[in-house]
Chain A
Amino acid sequence: MRRFFERTSLTDIVMFVIGGSLVALVIIGSAATLISGKYGSREWFNFIVYGVALGGIYAVIAIGYTMVYGILRMINFAHSEVFMSGPLTAYFLADAWGRSGFLDQNPVLGLLVIFALAMAVSTMVAVLLERIAYRPLRFAPRLVPLITAIGASFFLQYFFRGLYGANIKVYPEMAVLKTNVQLGAYSIQYVQILVIVAAAIMMGGLQLFIQNTRTGKAMRAVSEDKQTAALMGIDVDQIIVITFIIGGALAGAAGVLYALMFKQVGFLMGFIPGIKAFTAAVLGGIGNVPGAMVGGLFLGLAESVGPNLFLDGLGIPAPYQLKDAIAFTMLVLVLIFRPTGILGETLAQKKA
């Protein structure tokens, strides 16, 4: 008992008081909402499906953050702009095809081409970013690449604003995606199915790639220890480029999914999803690819269910306005209580 008091300092106590009171609020709020019975099972089902779809998108973006962090130990702050560049460029194709009716006649082919275009543009941006901004700084002090990434993020945002204009662009509606599927009493929109399935395919494919191919093995080796990997004959530069290519392509695809779900794209669209995806990566344990997936889903669910579940119960008006605040608060809580994340790989001092 005495040793317990000796070990815990005042700051630990304050941290646990802050964290504990937040957790208590969540429990009280959830209980109040559930008792009041304001939402029926159909509403909850909708919240959950929406949350899973959103979480899938976050997870796919988060993979880009987590892979780069795993290898370079830096937050690629400009990843949110990699995410934005693809769908924003592909908008012009989608819009033209939407007008001509091509998209409604050949939805599969049309969507595939749009995905390919967006992924190509995002990949290009990611590779250029690595080549121009990050590679020369690989051995610089830690703050230097982070600041570079922040600078690159702003540069890209306003570069694309200059190219395509500041207005928000609306993706064309596709009749197929708008229809609902009935599952007994519940209904799901096709868009949400598409998003969930596409995200699952991408994540599964990536997992297979990393675990089963030679390149994947090399990537794991580089993220473990760059010097040793180089001694084993792995071309570290090439592996880093491949990491950026995969991250960029996934971000571009996630961007199109995001655009299909929310219909709107613009030069600032990357900022909030980017931060949340990073949060998801931290939630799951940064540097850990399955962790990013779990973290993304968790965050998506917290964001869609959370405001209605616990904020509503606390009597807060317009709880949806605070959904972003929930995400950030969760980030802080995770870092306080479990800095290694949900699927925390041992995050030694070397990494954190």
Chain B
Amino acid sequence: MSQSPTNRPVALSTALGAGVRIGLIGGIIAVSIALIGMLQAFATRDIISSVVSMSQILLLITFFGCAYMAVTRSGSTQPIFALITGALTGLVSSVLVVALVGLGSVVRLGDMFINATDQLYELLTFKQGLVTGSLYLMGLGLATGVAAAVIYRLPSKARQPVVTAIVGVVAFGLLQDLIRVTLSVWEALTPALKFLYKANGLSIAGAVTLFVLIAAISYIRATRGNQIQSGLNGLPPASRKTLRWAFILIGIVIVLLLPVFLGLYLSDVLDFVGLYLLMGLGLNIVVGFAGLLDLGYVAFYAIGAYTVGILTSPEHATGIIHNWWLALPFGVLAAVCAGVILGIPVLKMRGDYLAIVTLGFGEIIRLLALSDFLKPWEGGAQGIQGIPSPDIGPIRFVQQQLTLPLLGKLQFTPSQQFFYLFLGGCLLVIFIATRVKGSRLGRAWMAVREDEDVAQAMGINLVATKLMAFGMGASFGGLAGAIFASKLQSVYPHSFNFLVSINVLCIIIIGGMGSIPGVVVGALALVGLPELLREVGDYRYLFYGGVLVVMMLTRPEGLWPEATRRRELHEEAEPAEAGPALAGGTTVK
């Protein structure tokens, strides 16, 4: 764009137009966030103790994101126009929020919008009253907009460390519980923790230190990263091998000791991650490998859990097996049978129909479990109780005291012990899935996924291939259900609603369909993170839904896509070595 004087008014009006338009969108988003109560829910958690709370960060991110987008969109080459666009966007957004507060002070919005309370208005006006608070808010919007424009104009060498550092500080603030609990195991770190954190959130000094530290690391990585990489590559192969093994060993030790570091609550979270990881890997075979969209995956999970429950519960006449391990194969087998039986009628259906039929199947299973009709066997709404723990001879899943070298005496609760069961299950399933993926069957699945007709023409037996996908996917679900039943020691129909299927589906889509490390990343991000931020609680599915839509619009291949799919979508050459090396790293995570 040339900057001749006649162009100026045009550039100015584009800058203003982009500012107002995107500012309005930002304002609507901010008002919606306020009205659905996210701000109030997040106000209790401070990122920087008594300076910035999570809800303020949320507002700032909205303003900042919109201003940044406006600056990018308007594409003005002159700094002054970028500044104008950014400032205007921030201002317009904040004015809409101010309008909400103003409207709220005149009309009783609370009658309709449950979250439009005085508390919300106080939050939005920083407890400064309507007029002063509004000025504060507009000033904040303006400043954020200007900041977005400035960051946009920075050279990328400076921009990247600054953005990384801001994200890092926020992450440290958000994950304060996790970091504190984990690091408090080592007493040597207590002073550092005390310096970083106050009772609620980061201390100011801590936040500044973190900011500088992360920015410095990021800067060094950006400028010197290649040197380190080439230094590593320059090592003789033998020592490179030892280095890699050393990392893997450290990883294994950390994973094995995880429940010890994490304590009771976080171990429970980890168990849930494991549970969803198992289901995710199973559904990944059906959806990711074979491309059959299954929305009723919860059915197999339920069948696994109920079979084990019916077979082992002492309250049942059928509870003839008293050892969980002996009942486990039956649970898995029942799930496989259900998978194949469901698979037969839907063999000829594609895409959308398949999705809706499997959804119906999942609901039928839940309705049957809930009904009075099958109450004598499945217990109706009361479910089945008294499912035994997976004891192996002397190893019993009860509260135990252990003495470990270096760490001293420890309480070892069942949830911490179940971690190892989940870990074992996940490793087994990951192993199977990885091996199958490269096999003849796995390649047949992918051929079916890409084009059914061509696959059939190439001599792939569609019936057998699809049924194998359903059966194997179901078996992992059944395994997850069996372990879940034992962990809870009971099964209820309410644990098996449609939301579970959606949860699992989200995991594999966010992670990257068909990618095994992707499933791990997805399970950690979607099951682990919301549990760490308990404020998210009610907004979990809002967040899931939004992430699904945004993901499909912007990055349909997922966070950690399969190498082939990534190459398909982004043509540029990728280092061939990166794939397997990274994949090795995730099992350690």
Interface residues of A (CB under 8 A from B): 9, 11, 14-15, 18, 69, 73-75, 92, 132-133, 136-137, 140, 142-148, 150-159, 161-166, 271, 275, 278-279, 282, 316-318, 321-322, 324-325, 327-329, 331-332, 335-336, 339, 352
Contact = CB atoms under 8 A, between A and B. Distances in A.
A125 to B, nearest CB: 13
A157 B545 contact: yes
Given A162-B38, A322-B367, A332-B360, A152 B353 contact: no
23 contacts: A73-B352, A74-B352, A75-B356, A146-B355, A148-B548, A150-B505, A151-B547, A151-B549, A154-B545, A155-B549, A158-B540, A158-B545, A162-B35, A162-B38, A165-B114, A275-B356, A275-B360, A275-B363, A321-B370, A321-B371, A331-B357, A335-B346, A352-B350
Contacts of A143: 291, 293, 351
B549 A144 contact: no
B113 A151 contact: no
Interface in B23-49: 32, 35-38
Interface in B484-517: 498, 502, 505-506, 509
Contacts of B367: 321-322, 324-325
A329 B360 CA distance: 8
B interface majority secondary structure: helix
Contacts of B498: 271
A140, A165, A332: residue with the most chain B Cβ atoms closer than 10 Å:
A332
Interface of B: 32, 35-38, 111-115, 291, 293, 295, 341, 344-353, 355-357, 359-361, 363-364, 367-368, 370-373, 375, 463, 498, 502, 505-506, 509, 538-542, 544-549, 551-553, 556
Contacts of B371: 318, 321-322, 325
Contact of B35 (A136, A155, A163): A163
The 9 closest A-B pairs by CB, nearest first: A151-B548, A162-B36, A155-B545, A154-B545, A328-B360, A158-B542, A165-B114, A318-B372, A151-B549
B344 A147 contact: no
B169 to A, nearest CB: 28
A321 B539 CA distance: 30
A156 B349 contact: no
Contacts of B544: 151, 154
B353 A352 contact: yes
A144 B364 contact: no
Contacts of A282: 353, 356
Contacts of B368: 322, 325
Contacts of B357: 331-332, 335
Contacts of B375: 317
A163 B36 contact: yes
A325 B356 contact: no
A154 B502 contact: yes
A144 B556 contact: yes
A155 B364 contact: no
A331 B356 contact: yes
Contacts of B32: 159
A147 B552 contact: yes
A74 B293 CA distance: 13
Nearest to B352: A75
Contacts of A136: 553
Contacts of B372: 317-318, 321
Contacts of A159: 32, 36, 542
Given A146-B351, A156-B545, A162-B35, 5 more contacts: A137-B552, A147-B293, A154-B548, A163-B114, A164-B114
Contacts of A140: 552, 556
A332 B351 contact: no
A124 to B, nearest CB: 13
A327 B367 CA distance: 12
Given A137-B552, A322-B371, A335 B38 contact: no
Given A164-B113, A325-B367, A151 B373 contact: no
A147 B351 contact: no
Given A159-B36, A163-B35, A321-B367, A154 B542 contact: yes
Given A74-B352, A164-B112, A317-B372, A11 B545 contact: no
Given A75-B352, A282-B353, A321-B370, A137 B114 contact: no
Contacts of B364: 325, 328-329
Contacts of A332: 345, 357, 360-361
B350 A152 contact: no
